[in-house]
Structure 1
């Protein structure tokens, strides 16, 4: 009789399993006791149908729809749904990396850890990815790879007890586990970042700085404002106003270069300075072509920069440098970056830029990254002066050596003038700040304690006023420099 009852019960359990879908339960293993018999119920989340999938919205077979994803004059909404268990796994991983949430770090970085450029020292691994769902405009994207992201900003937010953390989204990260999402894309885009606007009460800097770089004709990420809600078991929680940022090792290469197969580096550490003797393959972090142990392009740049012809035969030095490095792009970037003031990058910090070996030119090309600290004088030593008077040229030779060369300096000066007359023109920027502030203010002020960096109700408008004063002061600084 007992065996008969067990068989009936097992059949009942099987019927339950087949009647459940991944939307009902995910990654659950329970043990149910019937008399002395234990029956293990294993229900995973691999059995689902991607019912919202269309070629236009989810497939790899379309060009990135930048107009849909990065719309300038609106604030859109993204919902991230993560199971309670996976959310806890993410939090536990953060605790292992950075210590107790809301307390002094006891993780691998140690209390107050900070390496060159303010990056977190001792932590050379990213937070873990977990699969979760992304919802946008009534459509679902399935088992998207979701993780926290950032360096010092992530550590500081975590230690301050603020859950408005930046996220990285990789839409086919888990395609091996879920064949239904093979080559899943978000309107043709594989990777996105949701930046939390850390240390920016205006919540505009990340977007505006990227706008300025691209309006100057440089390769840079598209950006847009989004509200983010996260449901990790108790319903949607408003995490705040974020800036959605296009990943460089994704659609930036796809759409702003004709060929995306060149080496892409994100240098970080002493080698990122390109000072003499700093070459280190581990710090020239490859974002693609990782299996190819070829670092000859960055090695050539380092070698040419420090070649003796720089002082004995400047024309020959420039010819050699121009052959391996797109100096024109760099000088234009340098003019924009110095005019708008962006201290958290090369020249002050050993991070926050990419180098791409463009197959069309066989030259390393500079791509800016991470602009929440731009458009202000800056922390620490502050942003560099327009004439780089405080710069140690040997320590930061890509700036120092080029500025010391009369030909390159003349090009830089011309770009500085061009920046304030075009991409960072005063009246245009004042109007843009006014427009963007009106667009996002209600969402910024709707942020709640524990999910915001705003210290009080006037913080947002005060930050907008500072941005407007800043653009006027930069115009005056450029006029003084050029005179």
Structure 2
């Protein structure tokens, strides 16, 4: 038996401390303490977006890696993140048209993907399994993706964390990239908790195919009819998972009782931002891809991805892309794509046939316009971020544009946002056409954007000019490697 003159006092104090700790665990969020699932360690390290981070990629043969990058094969590397080393990290190039065109133009600045558990089971960066390094392909502002994710987060749409990163290769400067949290296990835990649902990245195999599953159309009850969904699942999928998703698509196809199968508010907020930024390399475009689909308990949500071609700059694969800024910046919010596309996009079209949802969609636009744009938040985000990254853009050895072109792109992006905001406000107030049919009846109505050249945000001509810069950077990186080999041999 324990004997101590203060034993009763000690036991009482321990009991009180245990009660206090229990209270913190149970009610910590109410007291202002973040939940562990919503505040993983990586969020406050690499994704502290108040500064530019550093990533050094130590790769045995960088020249060979770049030459073989289009195959998207992984190679092992050591990633030194803000001075901290992580070994045996899987590294590969990433992208679709951007990857193809980087190769086609003979360039070497690929977007990259780092996977911590590719070679090492359980490998992670403070809880993060994977992130990408976005090369700002056809984005001379370096800001399009960053700004859209900020808009999505502002509208309470689950969006990847991101931050700017100065990338070096074996110690040699390679350029300014945007680090982006990849939507996989860590992302799902952070946004939806440890008991999260299923996550998919629907994508087409061929543009010439019908790709009805990518468009989220109901094709029947056979899971084999949805290869572009189930083959692109981020987690293991069983028969029950397939059945829930297919049933949700069936309900969606009917246009009735949609709140039993769709997270309506979240989807409406997503489309509000998506339509504002005129991104047609997306679910609302010809391809119908570049989004993540989240399903939990039979409820569907759509999540944002890939915005380097937003703000009216999508022209890939188009024989006659729209270039007129007056057309683009006045694009009507009630018909964000032509009828033949909209009819094949039930997640937008069937929701908008419901009067209540349609009214909520307009209400979310009013919120975005007043609280994000009229308040000046968009300008503060653009200007403050540009000031932070400016020295790095100016020193970027593999940049797709000159520093002067970058400054022009930032000014252009500011003006695009201002005019788009004014146009949509006029549409909601009834002063400007809000549908394509109204535009046909009133040609020329809307804001005057004729002074803008959207090619300043990033265009194919920039790819031609970038080759010399990137060749020089590659030569320096290869020279550095040869010196290291010679030094090791001595």
TM-score (norm 1): 0.71
Q: 2:148–2:273: 8 Å Cα contact kept in structure 1?
A: no
Residue pair 2:362, 2:428 contacting (<8 A) in 1 also: yes
- Which residue does the alignment assign to 1:373? 309
**1:82 matches 2:82:** no
Q: Is the 8 A contact 2:252 2:262 kept in 1?
A: no
Partner of 1:340: 277
1:92 offset after TM fit, Å?
A: 5.2
Of 459, 468, 482, 2:414 maps to 468
For residue 324 of structure 1, what is the aligned residue in structure 2? 261
**Is 1:68 aligned to residue 45 of structure 2?**
yes
Shift of 1:397: 1.9
Mapped partners of 1:457, 1:88: distance in 2: 26
SS of equivalent to 1:193: strand
Q: 2-side partners of 1:212 and 1:220: how far apart?
A: 9
Match of 1:273 in 2: 215
C-alpha contact (below 8 Å) 2:89/2:116 kept by paired residues: yes
Equivalent of residue 387 in structure 1, options 327, 330, 334:
334
Structure 1 match to 2:486: none
Match of 1:410 in 2: 359
Q: Contact between 1:344 and 1:352, CA under 8 Å: does it hold in 2?
A: yes
In structure 1, how many angstroms separate the alpha carbons of the residues matched to 2:374 and 2:101?
34
- Offset at residue 435 of structure 1 (A): 1.0
Question: What is the SS of the residue equivalent to 1:69?
Answer: coil
Task: Name the CA shift for 1:298/1:425 in 2 (closer, same or farther; >3 Å).
Answer: farther
**Distance in 2 between the 1:428 and 1:92 partners?**
42
Quickly say closer, same or farther: Cα 1:240–1:89, change in 2 above 3 A: closer
How do 1:143-182 and structure 2 match up within 5 A?
143-175=88-120, 182=121
Deviations 1:350-402 (A, max 9, x none): 2111111135xx41211111122223464355676311163433222221222
Aligned to 1:137: 82
Partners of 1:412 and 1:193 in 2: CA distance: 32
Corresponding residue SS for 2:226: coil
Q: Structure 2-normalised TM-score?
A: 0.70
Structure-2 residue corresponding to 1:363: 299
Match of 1:419 in 2: 368
Which residue of the other structure, out of 135, 142, 148, is the alignment partner of 1:196? 135
Cα deviation, residue 136, structure 1 = 2.1
1:479 paired residue number: 425
Q: Where do 5+ consecutive residues of structure 2 fail to align?
A: 1-36, 205-210, 323-327, 430-490
Question: Are residues 260 and 371 of structure 1, via their aligned partners in 2, closer, same or farther at CA, if it must alter by over 3 Å?
Answer: farther
The residue number in structure 2 matching 1:104 is none
- Secondary structure of 1:65 counterpart: helix
Mapped partners of 2:344, 2:187: distance in 1: 30
**The residue matched to 2:65 in structure 1 has which SS?**
helix
Instruction: State the alpha-carbon separation in 2 of the partners of residues 335 and 272 from structure 1.
Output: 20
Larger relative contact order, structure 1 or 2 (CA cutoff 8 Å, min sep 6)? 2
Query: Aligned with 1:162: secondary structure?
Result: coil
Q: Deviations over 1:71-112 (max 9, x none)?
A: 22211110000112xx465345446x4xxxxxxxxxxxxxxx
Structure 1 distance, partners of 2:102, 2:359, is 42
| Corresponding position of 2:444 | none
> What's the CA shift for 1:155?
1.1
- 1:257–1:358 contact (8 Å) kept in structure 2: no
1:161 to partner: Cα distance: 2.1
Q: Does residue 296 of structure 1 match 2:243?
A: yes
Whole-angstrom distance in 1 between the partners of 2:143 and 2:418 = 17
Counterparts of 2:143 and 2:264, CA distance in 1:
29
User: Are the aligned partners of 1:216 and 1:423 in contact in 2 as well (CA < 8 Å)?
Assistant: no
Q: Is the 2:199–2:294 contact (alpha carbons within 8 Å) kept by the matching residues of 1? A: yes
User: Residues 93 and 377 from structure 1, CA distance in 2 versus in 1: closer, same or farther, beyond 3 angstroms?
Assistant: closer
- In 2, the alpha carbon distance for the partners of 1:457 and 1:255 equals 36
2:156 matched to 1:217?
yes
Runs of 4+ in 1 over 6 A off after TM superposition: none
Give the CA RMSD over aligned residues.
2.3
Q: Please say which of residues 203-212 and 395-404 is displaced more in the overlay.
A: 395-404
Q: Secondary structure of the equivalent of 1:239?
A: strand
* Cα displacement (A) at 1:258: 2.0
CA contact (8 A) 2:393 2:403 kept: no
Cα shift at 1:347: 0.8
- Separation (CA, whole Å) in 2 of partners of 1:276 and 1:291: 19
3-state SS in 2 of match to 1:174:
coil
Given that residues 227 and 241 in structure 1 are in contact (C-alpha distance below 8 angstroms), is that contact kept between their aligned partners in structure 2?
yes
More helix by share: 2
* Contact 2:42/2:127 (<8 A) preserved: yes
Q: Which residue in the other structure is 1:54 paired with?
A: none
Q: Helix, strand or coil for the counterpart of 1:154? A: helix
* Structure 2 Cα separation of the partners of residues 164 and 88 of structure 1: 12
CA deviation digits over 1:158-207, x for unaligned, max 9? 222221111111112112xxxxxx42221221111111111000101111
